[in-house]
Amino acid sequence: MKLALVSPYDFAYPGGVTEHVSHLAEQFLARGNEVHIVAPSSDDETEPVASVDAPVHRIGRVVSIPANGSVARITLSLRSYLQAKRLLAEEQFDLVHLHEPMMPALPLTVLRHSNTTNIGTFHAYRNTPLTYFYGKPILRPFFRKLHGHIAVSTAAHDFVGEYFPADYKIIPNGIDFPRFNTPLSPLGELGDSRPTVLFVGRLEKRKGLRYLLRAWPSVLQRVPDARLVVVGRGRPLEGYKRFALRQGWSDEDVVFAGYVATEDLPRYYQACSVFCAPNTGQESFGIVLLEAMAAGAPIVASDIPGYRDVVTNGVEGLLVERQKPEAIADALVRLLANTELRASMRRAGQQKAQRFDWPRVAAQVFSYYQEVLARREEEPEPQRVRFARVRRMAGLLRV
């Protein structure tokens, strides 16, 4: 099968959707399919961060747009209209799989010109969905060009389904389970027996690190030898370091590791006693939780919709009320003080995380491709005529 995987996000910049597309490409190539990746890229010369063997068609210049408590690196280039049209005409894909298909502007441009089977995966969950609310009349004709609909979680399904009702298939994100589960040599500075809490994430407000730092004095009162390790970078980093200095914490008690190389990240997960994700919301799925679980880390995480699909409270970890430092502290102390509970959660977490290994997830996606293609083949002639009419309606719009 000749497949196109379309992403709205800068393919030269690391991110959840970029990694998702890259892993799917690898799995489908291994199955003997021809796979093309279509995405904007801020780097036209070198290989993107998410390097795959599939050809990457770089379409459009990248601009940064504030979105969902973060920054979306997308293209709004008018040139992408002609580039996408020409690519689809030349390649004649059997199926086009668009990730965040209602996101401007590349997925919409591809949908505008695609005359083949189109499947969309919806990744995002937002608390303030103004884009869908105000853009629904414009986006509806594009949405109708989708023949299959995937949501990565219940949270993502509930969000998009409110504005664009359809029959959605929930297929989760995946992880490279062996990468995180295979035992590695311990980190030198973290290889001792001190109880260690780990945070991993971009230092954005919605990641909630400030609430973990506010909880930390209460943790130290009850577990004096506890250590906090923060992996991640971002503009607030210096402010967090100053906060730690004001508390009198040493560099050995609170470790700001900053950026960590991809190959070293599993070693951090494996070195921790508990992994903490104090996010405030707007998370559609807990990939970082699965990575930690695969490495054998019990979880303390905010009780938010995107995380409930990953962690069952009391089984693989503890879910706590978001933005509540004392609740975070109580959960961390409970796990740090209970070796047997941590061991039980470690076993349960590894068993669950294995179900999200990329070969299993990609098999679900490919099976859905076949289901949608078979359904389209069985459509009665009036249904095909109606789809043609929808295509003509969508043709009245320009991206």
Domain locations in the chain? 2-174+358-394, 177-354
pLDDT of residue 1: 96
> Using H for helix, E for strand and C for coil, what is the string for 232-286?
CCCCCHHHHHHHHHHCCCCCCCEEEEECCCCCCHHHHHHHCCEEEECCCCCCCCC
Is the distance from CB of 309 to CB of 154 less than 8 angstroms? yes
pLDDT of residue 69: 58
Q: What is the pLDDT along the chain (399 residues), one digit of tens a residue?
A: 999 999 999 998 888 899 999 999 999 999 999 999 999 988 754 444 456 889 999 998 888 877 655 677 888 877 888 999 999 999 999 999 999 999 988 999 999 999 999 999 999 887 445 567 667 889 999 999 999 999 999 999 999 999 999 999 999 999 999 999 999 998 887 889 899 999 999 999 999 999 999 999 999 999 999 999 999 999 999 999 999 999 999 998 999 999 999 899 999 999 999 999 999 988 889 999 999 999 999 999 999 999 999 999 999 999 999 999 999 999 999 999 999 999 999 999 999 999 999 999 999 999 999 999 999 998 875 555 455 544 444 443 333
For 117, left (φ over 0), alpha (ψ -120 to 50), or beta? beta
pLDDT of residue 124: 86
CB atoms within 10 A of CB 167: 7
Is the distance from CB of 126 to CB of 381 less than 8 angstroms? no
Separation of alpha carbons 29 and 26, rounded Å: 5
Fold classified for 2-174+358-394: Rossmann fold (3.40.50)
The one-letter code for the residue type at 21 is V
> Using H for helix, E for strand and C for coil, what is the string for 95-122?
EEEEECCCCCCHHHHHHHHCCCEEEEEE
Q: Per DSSP, what are the bridge partners of residue 74?
A: 63
pLDDT of residue 133: 61
pLDDT of residue 392: 45
Is the distance from CB of 105 to CB of 127 less than 8 angstroms? no
Of 195, 206, 250, 219, the closest CA to residue 330 belongs to: 219
Is the distance from CB of 284 to CB of 313 less than 8 angstroms? no
Question: What does the DSSP 8-state code read for residue 65?
Answer: E
Separation of alpha carbons 311 and 314, rounded Å: 9
Q: Per DSSP, what are the bridge partners of residue 6?
A: 38, 98
Question: What does the DSSP 8-state code read for residue 50?
Answer: S
Counting Cβ atoms within 10 Å, is residue 398 exposed (0-12), middle (13-18) or buried (19+)? Answer: exposed
CATH homologous superfamily of 177-354: Glycogen Phosphorylase B; (3.40.50.2000)
pLDDT of residue 385: 46
| Token pair in block for residue 324 | 């509540």
Is the distance from CB of 9 to CB of 87 less than 8 angstroms? no
**Which residue matches tokens 């005359």?**
115
pLDDT of residue 68: 59
Kindly list the distances between the CA atom of residue 367 and the CA atoms of 4, 147, 371, in Å, as whole numbers in the listed order. 16, 14, 6
Kindly list the distances between the CA atom of residue 267 and the CA atoms of 183, 185, 199, 287, in Å, as whole numbers in the listed order. 8, 7, 13, 17
Domain 2-174+358-394 identical in fold to domain 177-354: yes
Kindly list the distances between the CA atom of residue 265 and the CA atoms of 123, 181, 200, 270, in Å, as whole numbers in the listed order. 24, 12, 9, 9
Cβ-proximal residues to 59 (8 Å cutoff; 6+ apart), any chain = 38, 39, 40, 75, 77, 80, 83, 84, 87, 106
